[in-house]
Amino acid sequence: MGGAVSAGEDNDELIDNLKEAQYIRTDLVEQAFRAIDRADYYLEEFKENAYKDLAWKHGNIHLSAPCIYSEVMEALDLQPGLSFLNLGSGTGYLSSMVGLILGPFGVNHGVELHSDVTEYAKQKLDVFIRTSDSFDKFDFCEPSFVTGNCLEIAPDCCQYDRVYCGAGVQKEHEEYMKNLLKVGGILVMPLEEKLTKITRIGPSAWETKKILAVSFAPLVQPCRSESGQPRLVQLRKSERWESGTRIPRANCWPGTRLVSLYWFLTIL
């Protein structure tokens, strides 16, 4: 997938091209794309291709095309303080861009199938935090990555404001994905060869919009452990939760500074 816009000489020129072609439409998304150099998520020997509007795959490492990430970031309608779950979080490129918008009161979780890719993402994140000028210019919501199959998330996990899946979702998993969302939340995923945006408008009501024709590698199905039990993926809950304050499931991570302050004071 990709090739929708011309290649850039550098990251800024790639973003200029994505903007001109209307893939990037809002200031927040533009700032996040400019703050993170796509080449930093490539292996050294392949960096020369980083500013082309093309997907890149090497072993288990896989990045989608810039025009796809632009559509995804716009469709997610991100705001500071929201909780975000990235299924198939890969190199962490998208999670880091999202983290720049979520800010210090957000939640930023990623689940990746391959442990070598999770390690790669953690290294890239570490370099970004230590060396990037952008890190000092934004209030960053640092992503946390876990290895596991995202179709086996523990049932007691919180629901999220925003969910993205970076691999093709089979029709039989559509309901599972929709139930990861809080009411009011937005899910973006490739479903039946279309990038699809689903908004949860009520406890059992969702609105679906097809955004773009896409071709994604499918989500890998879980394989059972020797005991026949699923290996459940545990996502780290917020500190408030761990300190013993039970938050009703539908109200996890309410997403406003005011409510964060309320919980902080309650814990004190």
Chain residues in the site for ligand SAM (CB under 6 A) = 60, 62-64, 88-91, 93-94, 111-114, 117, 149-151, 166-167, 219-220
C-beta of 153 vs 181, nearer to ligand SAM = 153
Single out the residue of 142, 141, 102, 151 nearest to residue 122, CA to CA.
142
The Cα–Cα gap between 89 and 167 comes to 9
SS3 256: coil
Our answer to whether residue 64 is catalytic in this structure is: yes
Cα separation values, 97 from 33, 135, 261, Å: 7, 11, 25
Amino acid identity, position 108: N
Q: Which of 6, 64, 89, 227 is catalytic?
A: 64
Task: Quote the least distance from Cβ 87 to ligand SAM, whole Å.
Answer: 6
DSSP state of 238: P
Looking at the DSSP bridge assignments, the partners of residue 208 are: 198
Counts of helices then strands in the chain (DSSP H, E): 9, 9
C-beta of 217 vs 247, nearer to ligand SAM = 217
C-beta of 106 vs 166, nearer to ligand SAM = 166
Maximum Cα interatomic distance, the chain, rounded to a whole number of Å: 54
Task: Quote the least distance from Cβ 175 to ligand SAM, whole Å.
Answer: 16
Task: Quote the least distance from Cβ 245 to ligand SAM, whole Å.
Answer: 30
DSSP state of 3: -
Task: Quote the least distance from Cβ 129 to ligand SAM, whole Å.
Answer: 17
The CB-nearest residue to ligand SAM is 88
> Is 97 exposed, middle or buried (CB count within 10 Å of its CB: 0-12, 13-18, 19+)?
buried
C-beta of 5 vs 98, nearer to ligand SAM = 98
The Cα–Cα gap between 163 and 186 comes to 6
Single out the residue of 163, 1, 184 nearest to residue 87, CA to CA.
163
Task: Quote the least distance from Cβ 228 to ligand SAM, whole Å.
Answer: 19
C-beta of 220 vs 261, nearer to ligand SAM = 220
Q: What six digits make up the tokens of 185?
A: 């939340």
DSSP state of 213: E
C-beta of 90 vs 255, nearer to ligand SAM = 90
**Cβ(215)–Cβ(1) under 8 Å?**
yes
Task: Quote the least distance from Cβ 124 to ligand SAM, whole Å.
Answer: 9
Residues assigned a catalytic role: 64
